[in-house]
A and B are shown apart, each in its own frame.
Chain A
């Protein structure tokens, strides 16, 4: 006890930490009927940290070339002690992170937390979700198995639909005309260097905004005395993380992520190629569109609609003036439930095999 006190004194003397401690003691989180939603941002962060930790461990053995990638993942899963666990956790945690990020986004949307003054928090959050999807897309190819290879071929092909620069973009993304070892190396670089760097920066910014402005309190909620951040909220958040960890452990142990068969660029594409679940609603929509609508290629129209829709969602803080004034906005609610219903139903129907 004495030693700890001595250490605190020495540090406080040098860095003037007492105000920080006072701030931490003062910091509180609003309490209301829906305050459970505050935990999902933290849960997403928790899964992100697991991704960083397990990703670094996988890096020790992974080799990003078309010749060695599949074998190195196979080696990790079969020969490296606990390699199977690390890889399985990395794959499952990626999915849970994206699921948790989606829940976080929708709770923020329905609570109307994106309005002034929190526009930048909403925008950095939206950018982080896009980055998470980028992580998923780039990471999916890395084991270089058949499914990943063909899904990436289909996925990157979408880029070529962009007017004027589409083909150029495709070449930049693939590192050539087709998905090859060059694509793998490129995706690897993006997955382990570019995306983590930008994400870390944006996460810090996102957290700094929240720290500066405090949690948003939804309108019309009966207010309770706020909950101290430390230790009450921190411990509760930690409990949520533990539940997340338990779910992750169960998934990783009982449904080990499969390796599949090595990609063969000359083999015909296997039947029923599907992207990861979080891209399914877009994938199925694009497939449903007719080849041509009013003289424009259906896929181009679909991608344009997704871009416009995404932009509209992104710009919610700008068009939703009512909620900024503290009024109800039924239009925003209708948009929100429409998006939830659309994504949920298309994803579910895709899994049920309705789209053939």
Chain B
């Protein structure tokens, strides 16, 4: 019966290599025990010992899959000859071009994977074959990344494990091992500066510095197993998966068709691709270092719109900062400014929405949001004014009372002198 299941699994697998036979598999969830690790851990040669040491922490090994699951052979045989007998399917070191097939023999098999991780995708191999890596490997280039290049060969950890090289915040280093090396990348027409650029981006700041795991890293835009550069027309789609509102605004703008006609990538044109810096209002305009100037020039409609948009954003920013300063000063001086702070937050929210409207390149839509912000700022300013008036009242009250007290002291002194002179 077991043999039939194995046969079925083998037939179902889309890869050329069959899933491992059940004799090399243990019980899912229970760490494997085999002769391979026992003997190899005792070996002196690091090349042969290290994989066995790493294996005990490996996700596969912990799930009962022995070394023979990938390498073949007989995991229970004590005699090395018998254990590593090619007749028992022993392959030894798996050559790079075979790695995807070996991994895929299980990972592409939905019913096999069901036993271990029901939710894990099983299309990795299919995706890999469409990737730049997979296509190059198929052409015989063995320098490209295969599964083990990123996940490791022995001691493979789940991607959710922070020690794993494919853990979100470590991916940039993992990809960077090859892609950060310009000499290695040169034959492929890749600059090798992408990693360095990415490290200056808002995304890197959020992900690695602030440890916000929702921020994107290499694979979020390029795909994990199907890694490939997004085409020019799909850049805004890629960015838009997270930046939905900006994408909607952009899609409704005249830029949408204009960029498509010019065969220009959309978001990338202003924000760059890897070195995505924190956007600034000062970018808007046709002057030096301003992004609109790439296509527009002084005097055209685009330049006018840019000028209007910048003016309305900048005015709000200045006013908001001034109001915040006033409100915070009043708060430091002991006034209750809760409502004003709420208004300032509302204004800030409107400003964020106004900046989103920049993607429509419509000055009126931007102005609609900045005037909302202005309304909230006005309310905060009113509160600050009332608080300042109250503080003035307190200080004046103090001055008046101090004057009254001092006058009384002087009068009292005069009275005492008079009494004492009399007596």
Binding site for B on A (CB under 8 A): 77-79, 84-85, 228, 231-232, 235-236, 238-239, 242-243, 245-246, 249-250, 253-254, 256, 258-259
How many angstroms from the CA of A253 to the CA of B333 in the assembled complex? 10
Proximity string of chain B (125-142) to chain A, C-beta cutoff 8 Å, 1 when within and 0 when not:
000000000000000000
Q: Does B334 contact A (CB under 8 A)?
A: yes
Interchain CB contact under 8 A, A84 and B416: no
Interchain CB contact under 8 A, A246 and B333: no
How many angstroms from the CA of A228 to the CA of B419 in the assembled complex? 10
Interchain CB contact under 8 A, A246 and B405: yes
Provide the residues of chain A in CB contact with B333, threshold 8 Å.
256
Interchain CB contact under 8 A, B405 and A249: yes
Q: Does B402 contact A (CB under 8 A)?
A: yes
Interchain CB contact under 8 A, B334 and A228: no
Q: Knowing A246-B405, A249-B405, A250-B398 touch, does A238 contact B412 (C-beta < 8 A)?
A: yes
Q: Is the interface of B mostly helix, strand, loop or mixed?
A: helix
Provide the residues of chain B in CB contact with A256, threshold 8 Å.
333-334
Q: Does B245 contact A (CB under 8 A)?
A: no
Q: Is the interface of A mostly helix, strand, loop or mixed?
A: helix
Q: Which 3 A-B residue pairings sit nearest by Cβ, starting from the closest?
A: A78-B336, A253-B398, A256-B334
For the complex formed, measure the closest distance between the CB of A246 and the CB atoms of chain B, giving whole angstroms: 5
Instruction: Pull 23 A–B residue pairs with CB atoms less than 8 Å apart, ordered by A.
Output: A78-B336, A79-B336, A84-B334, A84-B394, A232-B416, A232-B419, A232-B423, A235-B416, A235-B419, A236-B416, A238-B412, A239-B412, A242-B405, A242-B412, A243-B409, A246-B402, A246-B405, A249-B398, A253-B394, A253-B397, A253-B398, A256-B334, A259-B334
For the complex formed, measure the closest distance between the CB of A26 and the CB atoms of chain B, giving whole angstroms: 14
Q: Does B276 contact A (CB under 8 A)?
A: no
How many angstroms from the CA of A252 to the CA of B333 in the assembled complex? 12
Provide the residues of chain A in CB contact with B394, threshold 8 Å.
84-85, 253
Provide the residues of chain A in CB contact with B406, threshold 8 Å.
246
Provide the residues of chain B in CB contact with A242, threshold 8 Å.
405, 408-409, 412
For the complex formed, measure the closest distance between the CB of A85 and the CB atoms of chain B, giving whole angstroms: 8
For the complex formed, measure the closest distance between the CB of B394 and the CB atoms of chain A, giving whole angstroms: 6
Interchain CB contact under 8 A, A239 and B398: no
How many angstroms from the CA of A171 to the CA of B333 in the assembled complex? 39
Provide the residues of chain A in CB contact with B402, threshold 8 Å.
246, 249-250
Interchain CB contact under 8 A, A231 and B419: yes
Interchain CB contact under 8 A, B413 and A239: yes
How many angstroms from the CA of A250 to the CA of B335 in the assembled complex? 18
Interchain CB contact under 8 A, A232 and B336: no
How many angstroms from the CA of A259 to the CA of B412 in the assembled complex? 37
Provide the residues of chain B in CB contact with A78, threshold 8 Å.
334-336
Which residue from A79, A85, A239, A259 sits with its C-beta under 8 Å from B416?
A: A239
Name the residue on A nearest B413 (C-beta): A239
How many angstroms from the CA of A329 to the CA of B409 in the assembled complex? 39
Proximity string of chain B (24-45) to chain A, C-beta cutoff 8 Å, 1 when within and 0 when not:
0000000000000000000000
Provide the residues of chain A in CB contact with B398, threshold 8 Å.
249-250, 253-254
How many angstroms from the CA of A249 to the CA of B400 in the assembled complex? 11
How many angstroms from the CA of A243 to the CA of B401 in the assembled complex? 12
Provide the residues of chain A in CB contact with B401, threshold 8 Å.
249
For the complex formed, measure the closest distance between the CB of A227 and the CB atoms of chain B, giving whole angstroms: 8
In residues 382-421 of chain B, which contact A (Cβ within 8 Å)? 394-395, 397-398, 401-402, 405-406, 408-409, 412-413, 415-416, 419-420
For the complex formed, measure the closest distance between the CB of B102 and the CB atoms of chain A, giving whole angstroms: 51
Name the residue on A nearest B396 (C-beta): A253
Provide the residues of chain B in CB contact with A77, threshold 8 Å.
334
In residues 367-383 of chain B, which contact A (Cβ within 8 Å)? none
For the complex formed, measure the closest distance between the CB of A203 and the CB atoms of chain B, giving whole angstroms: 25
How many angstroms from the CA of A79 to the CA of B334 in the assembled complex? 11
Which residue from B334, B336, B405, B412 sits with its C-beta under 8 Å from A235?
A: B412
For the complex formed, measure the closest distance between the CB of B95 and the CB atoms of chain A, giving whole angstroms: 56
How many angstroms from the CA of A239 to the CA of B405 in the assembled complex? 9
For the complex formed, measure the closest distance between the CB of A76 and the CB atoms of chain B, giving whole angstroms: 11
For the complex formed, measure the closest distance between the CB of B109 and the CB atoms of chain A, giving whole angstroms: 50
Name the residue on A nearest B398 (C-beta): A253
19 further A-B contacts with Cβ under 8 Å, apart from A231-B419, A258-B334, are A78-B335, A232-B416, A232-B420, A235-B416, A235-B419, A239-B409, A239-B413, A239-B416, A242-B405, A245-B405, A246-B402, A246-B405, A249-B398, A250-B402, A253-B397, A254-B398, A256-B333, A256-B334, A259-B334
How many angstroms from the CA of A88 to the CA of B337 in the assembled complex? 19
Interchain CB contact under 8 A, B395 and A253: yes
Provide the residues of chain A in CB contact with B336, threshold 8 Å.
78-79
Provide the residues of chain B in CB contact with A235, threshold 8 Å.
412, 415-416, 419
Proximity string of chain B (334-356) to chain A, C-beta cutoff 8 Å, 1 when within and 0 when not:
11100000000000000000000
Provide the residues of chain B in CB contact with A232, threshold 8 Å.
416, 419-420, 423
Name the residue on A nearest B408 (C-beta): A242
Provide the residues of chain A in CB contact with B415, threshold 8 Å.
235
Name the residue on B nearest A75 (C-beta): B336
Provide the residues of chain A in CB contact with B412, threshold 8 Å.
235, 238-239, 242
